[in-house]
Amino acid sequence: MNVAILKETLPGENRVAAIPATVKEMVKSGMKVLVESGAGENSHISNDEYKNAGAEIVSDRANLLANTDLILKVAPAELDEIDMMKDGTVYVSFFQTTIQTEHVKKLVNKNISAFSMHLIPRTTLAQSMDALSSQSNIAGYKAVLLGAAHLSVYMPLLMTAAGTIPPAKVLILGAGVAGLQAIATAKRLGAQVEAFDVRPVVKEQVESLGAKFVEVESDEEDGVGEGGYAKETSEDYKQRQQQLIKEHIAKSDMVITTALIPGRPAPVLIPDEMVQGMKHGSVIMDLAAENGGNCELTTPDEVTISHGVIIDGSLNLPATMPTHASQLYAKNIITFVKHLCPEGEIKMDLEDEIISGALFAHRGEITHEPTKEALNKS
């Protein structure tokens, strides 16, 4: 069985889907691994390192795509890449299937069996395949560093001969994987940290990291949706939430937003009027920018200033740390590949909850209901 590792072509995408260590594992399983020339260069991995691990280096992308059984990527395949794939290929990458509907249609028309790492179930068995979590961890860490670089104040408490400098106040909206890492990183830098989440169950985790949990008083919502993600809340809850956030955001030097609802645009937690009430020189790091942003004024992939507040809508923060991001993603991928190919060959077991959960297109049909609904609306 031929496995292809492609060089990422999306601007700013510096990660790669396999590293030499995971190539060795695939080769040991009896797979022939074909690596596109230069695939690892942005992650500081040379062609020779892949060759020494047992891979074959291929320069002709069209030939590579036309003669492989399993394609591994980080970013979603471009439309022209899908055109070059042979019918019936199995394909794995990150893929927001309810948003990138044109790409889904093309995959379906080519009879590609397509898996999205976004759709890996949040179960104990699939934990080591959870690429969304491994990459969100990096995003939470990097968001604090970038936010600190934007600030005009110190993060930690400083006692100097010229006087005492109080610690920066950091507010984290959303205490999932990215939010918890942001809390931990901000605390290490000496900031005073608060965190808000619609799920009261995360309070213990937030407090264990040394942050204060900001809680909406309500007994009608637990805020927990499928897979442990946040879910839509009632209008009454949203109003209380907005008021509480408004009070705390006005005192903050840095706000990091991480709130996402799978398959939907990011909820707006910070409207224009709330930004107007923030301190001049304060910073909003919007980790939901790719899905529209948690701040009404966020411009995806740009750093802007509104009402004296710096709003950073940087995309794909994990790709700015490609060495460790690729290492973690490659580990998630190899674990999934071993599950999909238990004896070195693809075994499409649709009764398996991990395989069926991550699969969104198979044999010319869409197998993921939210994706099917999104295509019907498009």
Q: Catalytic residue positions? A: 122, 127, 130, 133, 229
Q: Name the residue type at position 366.
A: I
Q: How big is the chain by its Cα radius of gyration, in Å? A: 22
Q: Which of 288, 263, 268 is nearest to 372 (CA)?
A: 263
Measured between its terminal Cα atoms, the distance across the chain in Å is: 36
Is residue 270 within 8 A of residue 294, CB to CB? The reply is: yes
Q: Which of 3, 4, 133, 8 is nearest to 76 (CA)?
A: 8
Measured distance CA(208)–CA(41) in Å, rounded: 39
List residues bridging with 4 in a β-sheet. Answer: 34, 71
List residues bridging with 172 in a β-sheet. Answer: 195, 256
Measured distance CA(162)–CA(241) in Å, rounded: 40
Residue 178 burial (CB < 10 Å; 0-12/13-18/19+)? buried
Neighbouring CB atoms inside 10 A of 220's CB total 8
Angle at alpha carbon of residue 370, lines to 328 and 364, rounded to 5° = 85
3-class DSSP assignment, residue 285: strand
H-helix segments, the chain: 20-28, 47-52, 61-66, 79-84, 101-109, 131-150, 177-188, 203-208, 235-249, 272-276, 322-340, 353-358, 369-377
Residue 221 is classified by DSSP as -
Residue 216 burial (CB < 10 Å; 0-12/13-18/19+)? buried
Measured distance CA(254)–CA(186) in Å, rounded: 10
